[in-house]
């Protein structure tokens, strides 16, 4: 069976890597890696491909940036040609980026079955482009591979039939657990002069947080104040860097808030594992910190990963600087960490996905 595995942005790489590794081990599914180039930075893509031991893409579409409509349209046009030429038996999409949506539409139009890895996640916020991508992709997918029970319930509530829902666990955790040992050899802490358990790690990239100057400045000022309590290391996303550089008046400086360039996957795992606290607006990091038992504050008003809130490893803090500070100080004042891991977040998700597909495509 030929399966096109679509990646478009860096978070997709971590979800594709375990699938490719598992399919190659079994030799019953022939994976073809399709990189749409939705988010592309040559240096960062190279680092992630090397860290994750991913093969070179079989096809690189190179669509680049643009509005949501432009990007989605470009991907659909280019990917349709790939599918028509390659006659794939299955299209596997992961996550919730525009590439996920575009390629699932192409598959549905060409009557090629679509499998969505990470199906059923919902923030219930239609102002988020990712929410639209998730909902449409799930409607079009023959295989909805879910990470948790609430995702199953979301799909049932939306009318997805039971024979399309497969609870397999969290593919992100496959990569996390597989590469933990390798990440232990990273020298990122020494390079940055950090001591384990004595710093905070920050990531911010969502337009709702960084594109509005007033919102972003409020979050940033809270981080400045927090950095008086412990050092903060902040790998800055290109979108976020652009806003910082263009700000007028300029953002305040503090020697304890370290703005650094984005780092590779293995370095980031190590930095995350030994952080006292993580502040983020990322979806995947909410899950990874849960498994690593690192307290996480999510700078959003909602999350498509509510299970991380329910089990106590993650707190939604919105964008109000005072709430961010108050919750951060709670964490710093507590000596305990939550050690609750959801079912099937065990590093074996790719194997369960392969089991399902082998039964469906004997």
Q: Report the catalytic residues.
A: 205
Task: Round to whole Å and give the CA distance between 88 and 82.
Answer: 9
Compute the distance between CA of residue 266 and CA of residue 262 in angstroms, rounded to an integer: 12
- Do 90 and 1 meet the contact criterion of CB atoms below 8 Å apart? yes
Query: How far, CA to CA in Å, does 130 sit from each of 94, 101, 206, 283, 340?
Result: 12, 9, 11, 11, 27
Residue 109 CA to residue 32 CA, distance in Å, equals 20
Distance CA 180, CA 19 (A): 18
* Alpha-carbon distance values, 101 to 96, 120, 231 (Å): 7, 14, 39
Answer for the pair 265, 176: CB distance below 8 angstroms, yes or no.
Answer: no
DSSP code of residue 281 = -
| Token pair listed for 20 | 């490719």
- Cα distance between residue 248 and residue 245, in whole Å: 9
């Amino acid at each position: 069976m030929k399966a096109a595995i679509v990646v478009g942005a860096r978070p997709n790489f971590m979800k594709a890597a375990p699938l490719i590794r598992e399919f190659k081990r079994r030799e019953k599914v022939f994976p073809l890696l399709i990189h749409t180039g939705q988010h592309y930075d040559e240096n960062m893509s190279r680092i992630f491909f090397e860290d994750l031991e991913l093969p070179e893409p079989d096809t690189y579409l190179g669509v680049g940036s643009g509005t949501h409509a432009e990007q989605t349209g470009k991907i659909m046009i280019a990917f349709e040609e790939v599918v028509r030429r390659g006659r794939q038996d299955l299209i596997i999409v992961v996550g919730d980026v525009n590439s996920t949506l575009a390629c699932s539409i192409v598959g549905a139009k060409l009557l090629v079955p679509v499998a969505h890895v990470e199906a059923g996640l919902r923030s219930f916020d239609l102002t988020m482009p990712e929410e639209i991508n998730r909902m449409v992709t799930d409607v079009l997918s023959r295989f909805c591979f879910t990470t948790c029970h609430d995702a199953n319930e979301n799909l049932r509530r939306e009318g997805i039939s039971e024979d399309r829902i497969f609870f397999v666990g969290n593919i992100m955790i496959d990569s996390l657990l597989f590469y933990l040992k390798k990440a232990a050899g990273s020298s990122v802490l020494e390079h940055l002069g950090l001591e384990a358990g004595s710093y905070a790690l920050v990531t911010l990239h969502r337009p709702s947080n960084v594109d509005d100057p007033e919102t972003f400045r409020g979050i940033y000022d809270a981080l400045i104040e927090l950095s008086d309590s412990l050092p903060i290391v902040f790998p800055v996303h290109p979108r976020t860097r652009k806003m910082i550089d263009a700000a007028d008046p300029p953002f305040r400086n503090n020697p304890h808030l370290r703005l650094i360039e984005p780092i590779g996957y293995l370095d980031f795992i190590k930095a995350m594992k030994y952080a006292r606290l993580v502040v983020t607006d990322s979806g995947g990091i909410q899950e990874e910190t849960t498994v690593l038992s690192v307290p996480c504050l999510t700078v959003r008003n909602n999350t498509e990963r509510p299970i991380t809130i329910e089990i106590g490893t993650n707190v939604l803090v919105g964008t109000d600087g005072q709430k961010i500070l108050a919750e951060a100080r709670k964490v710093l004042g507590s000596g305990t960490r939550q050690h609750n891991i959801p079912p099937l977040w065990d590093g074996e998700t790719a194997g369960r996905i392969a089991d399902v597909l082998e039964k469906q495509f004997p």
